[in-house]
Amino acid sequence: MSKILFVMTGADHWTLADGTKHPTGFWAEEAAAPYEAFKAAGHEIVVATPGGVVPTVDQGSLAPEANGGQEGADRIAAVLASLTELQHPITLEDVNLDDYAAVFYPGGHGPMEDLAVDATSGRLLIDALDSGKPLAVVCHAPAALLAATKADGTNAFAGYQVAAFTNAEETQAGLADKAAWLLETRLAEAGVDVRTGEPWAPHVVVDRNLLTGQNPASAAPLATELLKRLA
């Protein structure tokens, strides 16, 4: 069929306000659920990270309580084990957007650390937006939008309606008061129109070719929306 680019964090920690390094990476469900959907539809996946670093999974995202029980945790772990593309990422600098039918950014707190300030990712996001190809970004991965700065200093996504991990969810997760900055707040400051849904419930927002999901539960519905555009 066609190739879908997964742009993933290379970070294994998130620096908190006091300088503490909180262990993290990508959130398992946000890579595994879309991967399953895209592969089932016959698409090829290519993973790209800053520097070609093999992405680290947030261990918390593999826990039974994050996956509806042990059975769900085992299933997510099995999907990740089959995701061999994770072990052979290309570098962001080597990405040729013309090779891909769509771009997908899984979340986790990792993107708050690296993709939020990665100029190469920022340029790729602007190019993907301008190309008209489906661009899907979920949970904390909209942090990457903050690096999509145009020549005039404005954000390329200003004025776009976007779903992203909310301040309410970060508070309920227990990290809001420790964070150096909050995603929903920073996106709003950049001019992005953040549309919030109920905490932890699936919530997908589509604005032109930009498709966004609020949280881990939104990853599978977001993948479904992307596939509709590749049909």
How confident is the chain (231 residues) per 10-residue block, as mean pLDDT? 96 98 98 97 98 98 96 96 96 98 98 98 98 98 98 97 98 97 98 98 98 98 98 84
Total-model pTM? 0.98
Backbone angles phi, psi at 57, to 5 degrees: -85, 140
Amino acid 1: pLDDT = 78
Q: What angle do CA 125, 126, 128 make, to 5 degrees?
A: 65
Amino acid 197: pLDDT = 98
